Structure 1
Amino acid sequence: MNIYFSAGGRFDFDRNGVMFVALVDGQPIQCLVSEEALQNHFDAMGGADDHEHAFEIHHEEIVTAAESKILQGYPEPILLTSADF
């Protein structure tokens, strides 16, 4: 299984988190790291820009957690919460 992640993410106000995309064997899979996880584990303070910045700084740790869930067969969208960190 080949998994690649997008470099950036964007804050989704409807889902309260930063959305990003994984390409799994060439197929896009939507992923979301929750606002709560970004605040509790990655020091995001508030506002979409701050959450997106925290995502960028901690990209490697976040995508590692997403990759683990993909490999375990979790359904799309892949949701990362505080419990995943």
Structure 2
Amino acid sequence: MEIKFQEQERYDINNEGLLFQALVNGEKVTCVVTREALWEGFSADQVLSLEEAFRAGRETIERAAVVLIEQGAPQPIVVKRAHVAPI
């Protein structure tokens, strides 16, 4: 399975969190990282925006999204705090 994440100039934010896109075997898959994951996992409350928190934790967030995609999670892929919390 080939999974790539698209770099975006601007990220959409909805009630659930910040949306980002993956390409899975060439097909677009919508992913979202919850506000809670950004606030608690990447200190969004201490930075200027959810986008900055996403950029700070991007590697961890994308790694969690890959696991969820490979497990066959339904779309949109939702990355929650538990997926990115340190062990």
**Mean Cα deviation higher: 19-28 or 38-47:** 38-47
CA distance in 2, matches of 1:29, 1:55: 18
**TM-score, normalised by the number of residues in structure 2:** 0.86
**Alpha-carbon contact 1:11-1:51 (below 8 Å) kept:** no
Instruction: Identify the residue that residue 10 of structure 1 maps to in structure 2.
Output: 11
Please state which structure has a larger fraction of its residues in strand.
1
Aligned residues: 83
**TM-score, normalised by the number of residues in structure 1:** 0.88
CA distance in 2, matches of 1:67, 1:11: 20
Gaps in structure 2 of 5+ consecutive residues = none
Instruction: Identify the residue that residue 50 of structure 1 maps to in structure 2.
Output: 49
Percent identity for Structure 1 against Structure 2: 36
CA offset digits 1:15-57 (Å, max 9, x no partner): 331100000000000000000110011000179x611011112
Name the SS for the 1:10 alignment partner: coil
